[in-house]
Amino acid sequence: MALNSYLQVQILMKTCQTADQVKPMPHSPPPVPAKLLELLKDYPDHIEQLQRALISVSDGRQSYAPPFEAAVWLLEDCLSAFKSEARAEIDAAVASGDPQAIERAKEKERLMSFARSSNIGLANLSELRAYFEASMR
């Protein structure tokens, strides 16, 4: 079936309008919250994992929820995993009987608890929220 030229132009205009309305995510990666950067400064691998989780939201791989909410959930999941790993380190240190290793592992678990806390590590997510709100404009 051949379309008349008026209809073809209308379809093309509608397609262009739709494409123009799609707002790409900002080119810079989403920011890891400053408090988490501060708390986890001695754990660069943890910071990198958080950054990768946030990037998975900004590039659309995580599309099960609005972007900001998905980002927060992924941060919470990662931080909970860090806390669980720290608890396992306590168990291993206790099994080894090394008092210094036990103390280090307990301090790490305490730090990971602070990072996971919605009153400490996740208390101020305004920069992250602004990043995702800007991407939706």
pLDDT in tens, 38-61: 999 999 999 999 999 999 999 887
User: What pLDDT score does 4 carry?
Assistant: 45
Compute the distance between CA of residue 74 and CA of residue 36 in angstroms, rounded to an integer.
14
pLDDT in tens, 2-39: 444 444 434 434 433 333 443 444 478 999 999 999 99
CA triplet 65, 67, 72: central angle to 5 degrees?
A: 90
Q: Show the tokens assigned to 34.
A: 């400053």
Compute the distance between CA of residue 99 and CA of residue 107 in angstroms, rounded to an integer.
12
pLDDT in tens, 82-130: 999 999 999 999 999 999 999 999 999 999 999 999 999 999 999 999 9
Instruction: Quote the pTM value.
Output: 0.78
Q: Show the tokens assigned to 13.
A: 């205009």
Compute the distance between CA of residue 60 and CA of residue 110 in angstroms, rounded to an integer.
33
